[in-house]
Amino acid sequence: MPTSAPTNHTPGVLSTGWFRSYEHASRGTASVIQLGDGERFARFENFRTSNGPDLRVYLSTTPSSGPGGNFADHYVELGQLKGNLGDQNYVIPTQVSLQRYASVVIWCKRFSVPFAAAPIVTS
C-alpha cells in the first residue's frame, strides 16, 4: 500500500514586527509562528488598541509602512479581533502563501480604516 512521504516543518518564529498606529493608537508585536505539524498562526503580544466596531485581522499585500487606505485592496481575513488588549492568536489557513503578504493589519470593516499594521517578512 503506498504511503505519502512525511512533510517536515521546522517549528519556530517565521517573522516578528511592531505594530504601527494609523487611525488609533496601537502597540505590541505581531509574530508569524509555525508549529512542527505545519500549522501557522499570527501571534499578538503585549497588544493594545482602541475599541472599535467590526475590527478584523487581515494579512495584506501592502507593507505596514505604506498608505493605510490600501490595506484592504489585497488581503486575506484571519477573523474578528478577539480583544483590544493582550496576547492572542489567529490561525493562518494552510492554503495561504505567506510570501505574498507584507503585513498583518487591524482593520475596521465598518468604516474602512486601519487601526494598526505590523510588518511580516518571511522567506
User: What gap in Å lies between CA 65 and CA 102, rounded to an integer?
Assistant: 10
Mean pLDDT throughout 75-94?
97
Mean pLDDT of the chain: 90
Query: 23-50: per-residue pLDDT in tens?
Result: 999 999 999 999 999 999 999 999 999 9
What does residue 99 show for φ and ψ, rounded to 5 degrees? -60, -20
Q: Sorting pLDDT into bands at 50, 70 and 90, what band is 65?
A: confident
Question: Is pLDDT above 90 for 69?
Answer: no
Q: Sorting pLDDT into bands at 50, 70 and 90, what band is 68?
A: low
pLDDT of residue 3: 43
Burial per residue of 82-103, b for 16 or more beta-carbon CB atoms within 10 angstroms, e otherwise: eebeeebebebeeeeebeebbb
pLDDT of residue 70: 82
**For residues 79 and 56, is the Cβ–Cβ distance under 8 A?**
yes
pLDDT of residue 10: 84
Task: Map out the domains of the chain with their CATH numbers.
Answer: 12-119 (2.60.40.200)
Question: What is the Cα 15 distance to its own chain's centre?
Answer: 10
